Amino acid sequence: METILVVNAGSSSVKFQIFGVEEAGALQRLIRGQVDGIGSRPRLVARSNDGTSLIERSCGSDEVPDVAAAIDTVGTWLRKTQTFKLAAVGHRVVHGGPAYDRPVVIDQGAVANLERYISLAPLHQPNNLAPIRALLKGRPDLLQVACFDTAFHHGHSAVADHFAIPERYYAEGVRRYGFHGLSYEYVAGRLPQVAPDIAGGRVIVAHLGSGASMCALSNGRSVESTMGFTALDGIPMGTRPGQIDPGVLLYLLTEKGMEPAAVRDLLYRDSGLKGLSGISSDMRELQSNPDPRAMLAVDHFVYRIGLNAGMLAAALGGLDAFVFTAGVGENSPVIRARIAEKLAWLGARFDPEANANGNSRISGADSQVALMVVPTDEELMIAQHTVALLSEQSGGGATGQRLAV
């Protein structure tokens, strides 16, 4: 069976999945795993799709000091233990800039273009590109596909895309892109199956995890997002602040004498739930901690989501459904309940029992706004895009290669 390897590289982890490609391009998930703790306490974990453990091994910090080394570790394990025929590799790339409105086959020119956006996504872009470079060097014959978090939002209107600054900056690419597009694309594709009554309507999807944003969908298409030029804007996140007055940044630079690099680190690594609480960026820890600072951080998170829901509902001209997804959205009934309270003015009526039971629909029968929980699957979305481009490149009938990454 030919296979697709999906790579989602972050700042301290590399997630990977193997999908088998069946007839007519149907995908079967075979393996999922990750290397986490890169540079500190690296650990390789992988399971088959039925949950069977395939490996759980700790590595030395000098053995896996960076993302490239993590990719090499994964490749070595796969070569030694698996016999799949690898046809292509699909990668999540956070920032595609103004040029890329869909997934693309990667070459050196594409990598050079994507390097231009490293400063706009410093936590993600360098690590997204690291495994791409490693494979271009070690396996130049292997088809690689970049799937962009920004691509799903490319259909926004000019009014939604612009900042109120001189037009020349927009022409240079300073515009509102939106992120988490692979997640929103997946959820938009699932709604006709799980909730056909609302799939074609006015829907807000809240991707709530360590990184968090919200997206307004009209008939399954993105029309507005809380994130903009970078993945800093919008609602507060684990370590990022969300919306902030630009005057605060000017104050830090001019009055506090901070260097730009220090401001960047503050915004990307030391703000959000972590900065506000002074305790943790992990919502689970904050919810269980009685410290008033932890409570403030959680309250702020919920409050800002409520505010942004109003903004997105205005962009849509009303609201038919609100969808929770990603780590916090899928797994925290308490946060879902608190956010649902903020949506009551829009006509949302919450069903506590359905929420506690983990139902996909958590609104009451009398609710004017459907409240849904739809698990996301960015890796499957990447695999689907990759197999589509693989088929296109091979004229509809891809031939694989033995796995050798």
What is the percent of the chain with per-residue pLDDT over 70, rounded to a whole number?
A: 97
Longest C-alpha distance within the chain, in Å? 63
Active-site choice (50, 149, 197, 377)? 149
> Which DSSP string corresponds to 86-150?
EEEEEEEES--TTT-SS-EE--HHHHHHHHTTGGGSTTTHHHHHHHHHHHHHH-TTSEEEEEESS
Phi, psi of 183 (to 5 degrees): -65, -45
- State percent of the chain over pLDDT 90: 80
| Confidence at residue 336, expressed as pLDDT on a 0 to 100 scale | 98
Question: Mind listing the pLDDT tens digit for each residue in 32-46?
Answer: 999 988 877 889 999
- The gap from C-alpha 340 to its chain's centroid, in whole angstroms, comes to 23
Tokens of 165: 């600054």
Residue 7 gets which letter from DSSP?
E
Lowest mean pLDDT across 32-41, 104-113, 155-164: 32-41
Please enumerate in sequence order all residues whose Cβ is within 8 A of that of 254, keeping only pairs 6 or more positions apart, or say none. Answer: none
pLDDT of res. 396: 58
Q: Per-residue pLDDT averaged across 124-138, rounded?
A: 89
Residue 11 scores a pLDDT above 70 = no
Confidence band of 71 (pLDDT split at 50, 70, 90): confident
Residue 124 CA: distances (Å) to CA of 56, 138, 179, 205, 356: 25, 22, 12, 22, 34
- For residues 58 and 43, the answer to whether their CB atoms sit within 8 Å is yes
What pLDDT, in 10s, does the model give residues 310-339? 999 999 999 999 999 999 999 999 999 999
Catalytic status, residue 149: yes
pLDDT the model gives residue 342:
98
- Please state, rounded to an integer, the average pLDDT across all residues of the chain: 93
What is residue 172's predicted lDDT score, i.e. its pLDDT?
A: 92
Q: Classify strands 221-225 and 27-36 as parallel, antiparallel or unpaired.
A: unpaired
pTM to 2 decimal places: 0.92
Residue 5: closest CA among 263, 307, 386, 285: 386
